[in-house]
Copies of this chain bind each other. A is one copy, B any other.
């Protein structure tokens, strides 16, 4: 029976339901009935459940957000709208680093420490490759066993949407749902390659870069500019004889960061060593995040940054829609490749051909 109600993306949903039964305050019997019968929930059901912190409902709402069915999308949008006023109350922490740097171990240690302190921790992931790779991060449930079974933690793999933009949107919407459900720390895990960390950075308050001391930078494959997005760099796996190399790497990074002008926030990025495996320096991570939050809330940058992020979504969504409409228009499709050839042959200036395509495009819209 429970199988029916286990959300496969959410290994502990079944557990929650049983918990729900044991503890009627935490979960409304009607939802449970709905859940058991897998009945369609109404917008009210979803919103009420989420605001009550019902994890099963939250998991189902997220599944709704992730669904590409139109009717699910429409329902999801209403749920999100209703949750929006209750969102924003968490610290949004981005954690990036290449595979093998120890993201999962770090997140598990950090997450357990926070739940022990009474925090409610949601762990999400951005991994546009997950569709192809079958979910390279957070996919493996065994990787965060302790945290996964923690009633105050909620772990969710990356939505495997086709496009980066799709993943970004779904993740942002899931953050809203998690915050409305009372999670006060939202950790966004992302693999430190490609565009995923730029997306993560665009939706978090604090961005932590995990590095290794014992790997050349090529191996660590930091994209140019990622180091500059980091509010802190933690050299992980600094245990045993790696400690020394870790300290050396840390001072190198400090020198490098010193060469950059101060960040927009006025915050000077911190560099420190840690060992998630030995649970060393994990407290430093959180101490640093709190320092940052306190400072930026005093200066107002914290809120200003979130506003900037929201307005950027508006303009980016608009620009994306405008581009899509242009490049998918028939008249453009057939002419664009020829235009490119002419440009590469130095036959015509890119500016002129651009203007011609634009004129023909808008002409075609009128007669649509």
Contacts and interface: CB of A to CB of B under 8 A. Distances in A.
Contacts of A310: 343-344, 350
Given A317-B350, A354-B318, A228 B224 contact: yes
Given A313-B354, A314-B340, A321-B354, 4 more contacts: A81-B352, A222-B261, A317-B351, A319-B322
Interface of A: 77, 80-81, 84-85, 87-88, 169, 172-173, 176, 217-218, 221-225, 227-228, 252-253, 255-256, 258-263, 307, 310-311, 313-314, 317-319, 321-323, 325-326, 339-340, 343-344, 346-355, 357-358, 362, 365-366, 368
A217 B262 CA distance: 9
Contacts of A81: 348-349, 352
A99 to B, nearest CB: 16
Given A310-B350, A343-B314, A358-B322, A261 B227 contact: no
Nearest to A253: B259
A261 to B, nearest CB: 5
Nearest to A228: B224
B259 A252 contact: yes
Counted per complex, copies of this chain come to: 2
Contacts of A354: 313-314, 317-318, 321
Contacts of A262: 218
Given A313-B350, A343-B310, A261 B319 contact: no
Contacts of A362: 325, 365
A339 B358 contact: no
A85 B224 CA distance: 35
